[in-house]
Amino acid sequence: MPLDTSRVLDSELIRKYLPRGRTIEELEQELEPVIKQELKGRIKALLKEKDAVLVAHYYVSADLQELAAETGGFTSDSLDMARFGHEHPASTLAVAGVRFMGETAKILNPEKKVLMPDLEATCSLDLGCPAEDFAAFCDEHPDRTVVVYANTSAEVKARSDWMVTSSIAEKVVAHLHEKGKKILWAPDKYLGDYVQRKTGADLLSWDGACVVHEEFKAQALKDMRIEDPEAGVLVHPESPRGIIEQADFVGSTTQLIQAARDLPHKKFIVATDRGIFHRMRQAAPGKIFIPAPIAGETVDCIACAHCPWMAMNGLQNLTRALETGENEIHVDPQVGRRARIAVERMLEFSRSLRK
């Protein structure tokens, strides 16, 4: 797969945006249960008072995921978070995840208020794909259909023809390939590589990566499987090729949870953010989940199998956002209208698959 390496991922930039010190998630793990209960009670009351619903990702804390379930909200992958927020009648969406998830919610629901616990919660894929550079890349390849991953800014989505998430990327690219389209893909090079190999499409990729998934180590995973040959391997497609090649199942977070439940293995090695273990244990009680290895014996990782930006979501900053209405996501209406075409195209396509 050709890769545009002219704009190399700026790891300094990514480090600059990493949360400093201990994350709110770590700090909240130490809260007394009674304080947590008080905060949860306050959030429940605020959600009602503000006509709001909580939409969370599987990588945020178990407390937030549980709260979403207890209040008629929802925890899921990026595609179903977008769908749920769009279809729910609440006038405010409280999104516990990272910024691109809040922006996607706003793009689809410009009339709704979208709040997030922390607006600084970003994503290395989004950071590694600045809108201006991306526009120049697109201009250099006007013959290609532009397909961008959800993990991008609203401006990047506005420059695209299609937005996709990990659960539907392969199907969308296969569909475009069948129609004879050449693809310009951004920003995740590993997901791009995976989709290219699955579909055979002519796909030119941006050079971006997720700091969490890029850390999984193929040789260490091989060693682990030799030690534990009975264990199944579940892999998110943001992982490098050497990890994906060892998978029993590759898919989005929701698809991985379903596989954990449905595959016959009693034990799984999991190559994605360890926040997902909470839901995997609920979906497949009694099964054992172990994280895929990150840096062999010498742990030298930025993320250590847990997204530092997802960990910026907590009960306390969610309470504050709901109380004050601050941390609202704004998307320039013109940008939003253009981005919406790409997002709607994916939703329409996913509806056609379900018919």
Which residue, 90 or 209, is less far from ligand SF4 as judged by CB?
209
Q: Which of 94, 95, 158, 212 binds ligand SF4 (CB under 6 A)?
A: 212
Contact assessment for residue 322 and residue 135, using Cβ atoms and an 8 Å cutoff: no
262 SS3 class: helix
| Residue 231 binds which entry of ligand 13P, ligand SF4, none, CB below 5-8 Å type-dependent | none
CA distances (Å), 278 to each of 59, 64, 85, 199, in order?
9, 11, 22, 32
Q: Residue 233 binds which one of ligand 13P, ligand SF4, none, with CB within 5 to 8 A depending on kind?
A: none
Contact stretch for ligand SF4 (CB under 6 A) within 41-49, 109-117, 251-259, 302-310: 302-310
Considering only residues 231 through 260, tell me which ones interact with ligand 13P, judged by CB under 6 A.
Answer: 236, 238, 252-253
Segment contacting ligand SF4 by CB under 6 A, of 106-114, 189-197, 208-216, 285-293: 208-216
- 55 sits near ligand SF4 (criterion: CB under 6 A): no
Q: How many residues bind ligand 13P (CB under 6 A)?
A: 10
Which listed residue (184, 203, 238, 276) binds ligand SF4 by CB under 6 A? 238
Q: Which residues contact 83 (CB under 8 A, 6 or more apart)?
A: 347, 350
Among 109, 166, 196, 246, binds ligand 13P (CB under 6 A): 166
Name the DSSP letter for residue 187.
Answer: S
Cis before residue 229, ω within 30 degrees of 0? no
Residue 335 interacts with, from ligand SF4, ligand 13P, none (CB under 5-8 Å by kind) = none
Confirm or reject binding of residue 151 to ligand SF4 (CB under 6 A). Answer: yes
Residue type, 52: A
The partner in contact with residue 196, picked from ligand 13P, ligand SF4, none with C-beta cut-offs of 5 to 8 angstroms by kind, is none
Residue 78 makes contact with ligand 13P by CB under 6 A? yes
Indicate if the alpha-carbon torsion angle 88, 171, 1, 216 is positive or negative.
Answer: positive
> Which amino acid belongs to residue 157?
K
Work out the burial of residue 353: count CB atoms within 10 Å of its CB; fewer than 13 is exposed, 13-18 middle, 19 or more buried.
Answer: exposed
Q: Indicate the residue among 162 and 190 with the shorter CB distance to ligand SF4.
A: 190
Q: What are the residue ranges of helices labelled H in 208-314?
A: 218-227, 241-244, 253-262, 277-283
Nearer to ligand SF4, 93 or 121 (CB): 121
Nearest to 241 by CA among 224, 261, 262, 217: 217
Query: Which stretches of the chain bind ligand 13P, using CB under 6 A?
Result: 77-78, 151, 165-166, 210, 236, 238, 252-253
